[in-house]
Amino acid sequence: MLRCCPPGPPGSSSLRRALPPAASAVRHRLRECAARIPEAGTVLDLLEKCPEHQKKGGFPVVVFEGLDATGKTTVTQSVKDTLNGILLTSPPPCISQWRTIFDDEPTPIKRAFYAAGNYILASEIAKASTQAPVIIDRYWHSTAAYTIATEINGEVQDLPPAHDEVYQWPEDLLKPDLVLLLTVDPEERVRRLQCRGLEKTKEEAELEANCLFRQRVEESYRRMVNPACQEVDASPSKEEVLKTVLQLIKKHCAI
């Protein structure tokens, strides 16, 4: 979903290959594998029905990003209730049941699936934002941050530099008004996960086993631009976090 751009530092070209540069490239990748993966054909059909260059309605669109167990589910539900808004998730429910299928596919196909989810979600955002404030649990920044962290090995300094094109929002994807990045310290995040008592996702197992991977994901989030992520410390009580989040929404959005 990243735009085509001039050659950058080592690693940038592979990242641009890992993330489709636009909706047209996403459709092309899904079309290539549809004969082998029937679900890819279904995702493609849904994507084809989405108008190009979606436009936002009159209500604000706020995205929440962050690692697992940073409080996204609790905060997004609370903000939705407080603002009488509409809560959307990525990937959208119409395709999320196929995540496990695509997670086992080669990287280009897997990334095309998640990229398609963002464009399908954009269609839902365009419609919902004409009716009420829209709150979103993950969007494009997650797709980009996890891809960058996966494709680049090593430490944070091995990531593309802060102003590299890989951190730019795609030109043909509906843009939110505000992106809030929820963060907690690693120990607190692990404690919250243990309290859940749920089976670990592949994503969470990698985050737990590989400290450098987690650091690359978080730093990639911080380097995103147009729009950038506003970081929120989600360690305090849920009431305090909600208060901080609502203040930011009021400051940056017309509510």
Q: What is the pLDDT of residues 105-121, one digit of tens each?
A: 988 898 899 999 999 99
Q: What is the pLDDT of residues 187-214, one digit of tens each?
A: 665 665 666 555 555 555 666 557 888 8
Contact at 8 Å (CB) between 16 and 4?
Answer: yes
Distance, first Cα to last Cα, the chain: 30
Burial class (CB in 10 A: 0-12, 13-18, 19+), 253: middle
Query: What pLDDT, on a 0 to 100 scale, did the predictor assign at position 204?
Result: 56
Q: How far apart are CA 138 and CA 160, in angstroms?
A: 22
Q: Cα Rg for the chain, rounded, in angstroms?
A: 18
Give residue 186's pLDDT.
64
Reported as a single tens digit per residue, the pLDDT across 10-39 is 456 666 667 666 899 899 999 999 999 999
| Residue 12 to residue 163: CA distance in whole angstroms | 12
Mean of the per-residue pLDDT values of the chain: 86
Number of residues in the chain: 255
Give the pLDDT score at 6: 39
Residue type, 59: F
Residue-range domain boundaries for the chain: 21-253
Which residues have C-beta within 8 Å of that of residue 195, sequence separation ≥ 6?
A: none
CB 135 within 8 A of CB 64: yes
**pLDDT tens-digit map of 89-147:** 999 999 999 999 999 998 889 889 999 999 999 999 999 999 999 999 999 999 999 88
Q: Which CATH architecture has domain 21-253?
A: 3-Layer(aba) Sandwich (3.40)
State the average pLDDT over residues 64-75. Answer: 87
Spatial distance between the Cα atoms of 194 and 165, rounded to a whole number of angstroms: 37
Confidence of residue 51 (pLDDT cuts 50, 70, 90): confident
Q: What is the pTM of this model?
A: 0.86
Residues 203 and 145: beta-carbon distance below 8 Å = no
